Structure 1
Amino acid sequence: MIVTVSFRLNNLRNAVLAFVLVPLLGVLIALGMLGLREFEQQMQLRMQEDIELVARSIRLPISTAMVRRDAMDVQQALDSAFQLEQVFGVYVYDAAGDLIATSGPRSPSLDRRRDALLITATGSQGAFDERHGREVFSFFLPLTDAGGRIIGLLQITRDVSRFQAYIAQMRWQGGVVIGVLSLLFLLMVLWGHYRAVGRHVDLLAQAMQRIGQGARGLRVPEEGPDELRLLATNMNDMIERREDSERALEAQRAQQAELEERLRQSQKLAAIGQLAAGVAHELGTPLGVIAGRAQRARRRAGADSPLAREMTSLLDELGRVEGIVRQLLDFARRNPLNRRELRLSDLVVDVVARARAANDCPEVDVRVEASEQDRDLRVQADPVRLEQAVGNLVANAIQSARTQVVVAWCRPQDGADAVVELSVADDGPGIAEEHRDHVFEPFFTTKPVGGGTGLGLAVAHASVEDHGGRIWLDRSWQDGARFVMTLPVHGERSP
Structure 2
Amino acid sequence: MIRSLNSLRTAVLSFVLLPLLLLMAAVVALGLREFQVQMENRMQEDIELVARSIRLPVSSAMLQDDVPGVQQSLDSLFQIEEVFGVYVYDAEGRMVAASGPPSPTLQRRGEARVISETGSLGAFGEHQGRETFSFFLPLSDPAGRIVGLLQVTRDVTPFRAFVTQLQWQGGLLMLAVSALFLLVVLFGYHRAVGRHVSRLMAAMRAIGDGQRGLRAPEDGPAELRGLAVSMNRMMERREASEAELEAQRHEQVRLEEKLRHSEKLAAIGQLAAGVAHELGTPLGIIAGRVQRAIRRLPEADPARKEMEALQAELERVETIVRQLLDFARRNPLQERPLDLAQLVGDLVERVRARHAPDAIRFQVDGEALVVAADRLRLGQALENLLENAAQAAAGEVRVHWRAEADRVTLVVADDGPTAGRGIDDEQAARLFEPFFTTKPTGEGTGLGLAVVQVALEDHRGTVALDRSVPGETRFVVHLPLATDEPQETRL
Q: Structure 1 length as normaliser, TM-score?
A: 0.88
Deviation at 1:152, TM superposition (A): 2.7
Deviation at 1:392, TM superposition (A): 0.8
Contact 1:338–1:382, Cα closer than 8 Å, also in 2? yes
CA separation in 2, counterparts of 1:114 and 1:149?
18
Match of 1:415 in 2: 405
Match of 2:153 in 1: 157
Q: Which stretch shows the higher mean deviation, 220-229 or 361-370?
A: 361-370
Structure 2 residue runs of 5 or longer lacking an equivalent are: none
Contact 1:468–1:493, Cα closer than 8 Å, also in 2? no
Match of 1:482 in 2: 474
Deviation at 1:361, TM superposition (A): 5.3
Give the residue type in structure 1 aligned to 2:447. L
Contact 1:468–1:488, Cα closer than 8 Å, also in 2? no
SS in 2 for 1:100: strand
Match of 2:430 in 1: 438
Deviation at 1:184, TM superposition (A): 3.6
CA separation in 2, counterparts of 1:403 and 1:72?
153
CA separation in 2, counterparts of 1:146 and 1:332?
151
Alignment equivalent of 1:454, drawn from 435, 443, 446 = 446
Deviation at 1:155, TM superposition (A): 0.9
Deviation at 1:309, TM superposition (A): 0.8
CA separation in 2, counterparts of 1:444 and 1:61?
142
The verdict on how the C-alpha distance between 1:362 and 1:211 changes in structure 2, with shifts beyond 3 A counting, is same
Match of 2:393 in 1: 401
The verdict on how the C-alpha distance between 1:45 and 1:286 changes in structure 2, with shifts beyond 3 A counting, is same
Q: Kindly provide the CA deviation profile for residues 183-223 of structure 1, in whole angstroms up to 9, marking residues without a partner as x.
A: 44344333333332222212111110101111122111122
Match of 1:386 in 2: 378
Deviation at 1:38, TM superposition (A): 1.4
User: Matches of residues 98-109 of structure 1 in structure 2 within 5 Å?
Assistant: 98-109=94-105
CA separation in 2, counterparts of 1:139 and 1:168?
23
Alignment equivalent of 1:278, drawn from 251, 268, 274 = 274
Contact 1:287–1:322, Cα closer than 8 Å, also in 2? yes
Match of 1:169 in 2: 165
Match of 2:416 in 1: 428
Deviation at 1:409, TM superposition (A): 4.3
Match of 2:288 in 1: 292
Does the alignment pair 1:204 with 2:200? yes
CA separation in 2, counterparts of 1:403 and 1:319?
27
CA separation in 1, counterparts of 2:337 and 2:41?
123
Contact 2:390–2:397, Cα closer than 8 Å, also in 1? yes
Deviation at 1:492, TM superposition (A): 6.8
Match of 1:347 in 2: 343
Does the alignment pair 1:141 with 2:137? yes
The verdict on how the C-alpha distance between 1:129 and 1:349 changes in structure 2, with shifts beyond 3 A counting, is closer
CA separation in 1, counterparts of 2:160 and 2:234?
69
SS in 2 for 1:424: strand
Alignment equivalent of 2:257, drawn from 258, 261, 265 = 261
CA separation in 1, counterparts of 2:371 and 2:18?
87
Q: Which stretch shows the higher mean deviation, 391-400 or 331-340?
A: 331-340
Does the alignment pair 1:54 with 2:50? yes
The verdict on how the C-alpha distance between 1:456 and 1:151 changes in structure 2, with shifts beyond 3 A counting, is same
CA separation in 2, counterparts of 1:295 and 1:86?
155
Q: Kindly provide the CA deviation profile for residues 108-137 of structure 1, in whole angstroms up to 9, marking residues without a partner as x.
A: 433444432332333222122233343322
Count of matched residue positions in the alignment of Structure 1 and Structure 2: 482
Q: Kindly provide the CA deviation profile for residues 466-488 of structure 1, in whole angstroms up to 9, marking residues without a partner as x.
A: 12223233454444233333244
The verdict on how the C-alpha distance between 1:99 and 1:393 changes in structure 2, with shifts beyond 3 A counting, is same
Deviation at 1:149, TM superposition (A): 5.1
User: Matches of residues 14-163 of structure 1 in structure 2 within 5 Å?
Assistant: 14-145=10-141, 150-163=146-159
The verdict on how the C-alpha distance between 1:139 and 1:341 changes in structure 2, with shifts beyond 3 A counting, is closer
Q: Kindly provide the CA deviation profile for residues 145-184 of structure 1, in whole angstroms up to 9, marking residues without a partner as x.
A: 5665544321111222333333333333333333443344
Match of 1:464 in 2: 456
Contact 2:393–2:414, Cα closer than 8 Å, also in 1? yes
CA separation in 1, counterparts of 2:214 and 2:166?
59
Alignment equivalent of 1:241, drawn from 237, 240, 245 = 237
Contact 1:424–1:483, Cα closer than 8 Å, also in 2? yes
Does the alignment pair 1:232 with 2:228? yes
SS in 2 for 1:278: helix
Q: Structure 2 length as normaliser, TM-score?
A: 0.89
Does the alignment pair 1:217 with 2:213? yes
